[in-house]
Amino acid sequence: MKLIDDFYVTEGKITTILQPISDGAEETILKDHPLKDYILGSKKVLAQSQNITTLVTDQYNEDVYDIPAIKKQYDSLEKEIKANTAKEFKVSDASLQSKKSSYEVFNKEADNFLATLRKVLRAAETSKTISVAQATEIQNGYQNVVSRYNNFVD
């Protein structure tokens, strides 16, 4: 068990170091790509969705709930989704026009994820806890967002 715990601590440290490097490389690679703004905006939504899912899961696992912290991340995610959804999909390359529907489906799925979070937060405010079913619902919602993101960027 100690090795498993050490692995997760080390993985977190390595990710913290490498993430800014990989993000910078991705921005450089996408510099002239017609979908750059849509991909990077969607990636922000995805990252914040992951952060809130991790927060909820960690709080569930530790049986300690900080609903204001979840709400704060919810508000941040909501702003990112609104900003991403507000971008009008304008791409002149005809071969990329099919990406418009994938982009819209991604944003719709992210909005569905917000709805799930709202429902869980309402219940958690009353009960001061998050049930296994609610934690699972959030994790499943996040996985749906990941799937739609992958469909968009593939």
Give pLDDT, residue 23.
Answer: 85
Give pLDDT, residue 98.
Answer: 87
Give pLDDT, residue 132.
Answer: 92
Instruction: Give the integer Cα–Cα distance in Å for 23 and 43.
Output: 10
Low-confidence ranges of the chain (pLDDT < 50): none
Give pLDDT, residue 91.
Answer: 87
Determine contact, residues 55/73, Cβ cutoff 8 Å. Answer: yes
**pTM as predicted:** 0.87
Residue with tokens 């309402």: 122
Amino acid at the residue 116? T
Structure tokens at 4: 């498993």
What's the 3-state SS for the chain?
CHHHHHHHHHHHHHHHHHHHHHHHHHHHHCCCCCCHHHHHHHHHHHHHHHHHHHHHHHHHHHCCCCHHHHHHHHHHHHHHHHHHHHCCCCCCCHHHCCHHHHHHHHHHHHHHHHHHHHHHHHHHHHHCCCCHHHHHHHHHHHHHHHHHHHHHHC
